[in-house]
């Protein structure tokens, strides 16, 4: 079976108890921490930055941290996230004047690099940089907010991105972000995604966020993923 990874988006976590929330959601069987950085400029919302990433590392989080930068410009802040312990650093091609350089900078600093595609952004930005990305992230909502509905046209885009990755022969993860729930994760996986961001689908599902609070919902996600291809 494919190596599926579940990436809880801490945008929907309780920020007043962030370290504990991250510990609990990882203990429930999720894989990587999706970390949404918004700047009130590239997107109309403002969230968290390198200080918070660093704080999670100091708290003891050893899982991969997947920094999704919704910021413009991107190059100035990349080194700060590398220093703060980011594993992946992804950015939107519209937000960088020099995409190839930004991707190179991320890898030079020892992190894994990625490009993020808004619903209307074409995959052609990848044409000359497939050898420079470790992650392709398709937005299935317009970026800026949690809790929006999955845009169905993303399914075809996932299939197209999966084809590009397979044909390239490179080891590139295909991540999906926005409106992922237990009810659609199987179909999303069958369209080619292997990494699943879920914010409101995990943190906002009404379960208590105590030490065992996310077990049930994460198991539902896993059970759906286990059906892929069957």
89/171 with CB nearer ligand DX5: 89
Nearest distance in Å: CB 10, Zn ion: 10
Q: Does 24 bind ligand DX5 (CB under 6 A)?
A: no
Q: Does 182 bind ligand DX5 (CB under 6 A)?
A: no
Residue from 5, 6, 12, 66 in contact with ligand DX5 (CB under 6 A): 12
CB atoms within 10 A of CB 82: 21
What are the backbone dihedrals phi and psi of residue 194, each rounded to the nearest 5 degrees, phi first? -125, -5
Q: Does 39 bind ligand DX5 (CB under 6 A)?
A: no
Q: Does 218 bind ligand DX5 (CB under 6 A)?
A: no
Q: Does 147 bind ligand DX5 (CB under 6 A)?
A: yes
Q: Is 3 a catalytic residue?
A: no
Report d(CA 184, CA 188) in Å as an integer.
6
Q: Does 68 bind Zn ion (CB under 5 A)?
A: yes
Does the bond joining 73 to the residue before it have cis omega, within 30 degrees of 0? yes
Q: Are 80 and 50 in contact (CB under 8 A)?
A: yes
Sheet containing 33-38: which strands, arranged edge to edge? 5-8, 195-198, 173-177, 135-139, 112-117, 88-91, 65-70, 33-38
Report d(CA 103, CA 64) in Å as an integer.
18
123/215 with CB nearer Zn ion: 123
* Interface positions, 122-181, toward Zn ion (CB under 5 A): 177
Q: Is 177 a catalytic residue?
A: yes
Longest dimension (CA), the chain: 46
Given the residues 36, 66, 134, 194, the one annotated as active site? 36
- As annotated, the active-site residues are 36, 177
Binding site for ligand DX5 (CB under 6 A): 9, 11-12, 34, 36, 68, 141, 143-148, 177-180, 197-201
């Amino acid at each position: 079976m494919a190596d599926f990874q579940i990436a809880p988006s801490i945008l929907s976590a309780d920020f007043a108890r962030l370290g504990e929330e991250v510990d609990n959601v990882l203990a429930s069987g999720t894989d990587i921490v999706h970390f949404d950085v918004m700047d009130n400029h590239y997107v109309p919302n403002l969230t968290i930055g390198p200080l918070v990433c660093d704080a999670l590392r100091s708290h003891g989080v050893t899982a991969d941290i997947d920094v999704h930068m919704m910021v413009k410009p991107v190059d100035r802040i990349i080194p700060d996230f590398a220093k703060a312990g980011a594993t992946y650093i992804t950015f939107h091609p519209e937000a960088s004047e020099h995409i190839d350089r930004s991707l190179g900078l991320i890898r030079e600093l020892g992190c894994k690099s990625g490009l993020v595609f808004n619903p209307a952004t074409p995959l052609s930005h990848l044409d000359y940089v497939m050898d420079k990305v470790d992650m392709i992230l398709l937005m299935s909502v317009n970026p800026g907010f949690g809790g929006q509905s999955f845009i169905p046209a993303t399914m075809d885009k996932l299939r197209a991105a999966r084809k590009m990755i397979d044909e390239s022969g490179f080891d590139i993860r295909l991540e999906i972000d926005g409106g992922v729930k237990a009810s659609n994760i199987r179909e999303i996986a069958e369209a080619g995604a292997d990494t699943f961001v879920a914010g409101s689908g995990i943190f906002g599902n009404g379960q208590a966020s105590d030490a065992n609070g996310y077990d049930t919902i994460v198991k539902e996600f896993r059970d759906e993923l286990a059906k892929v291809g069957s």
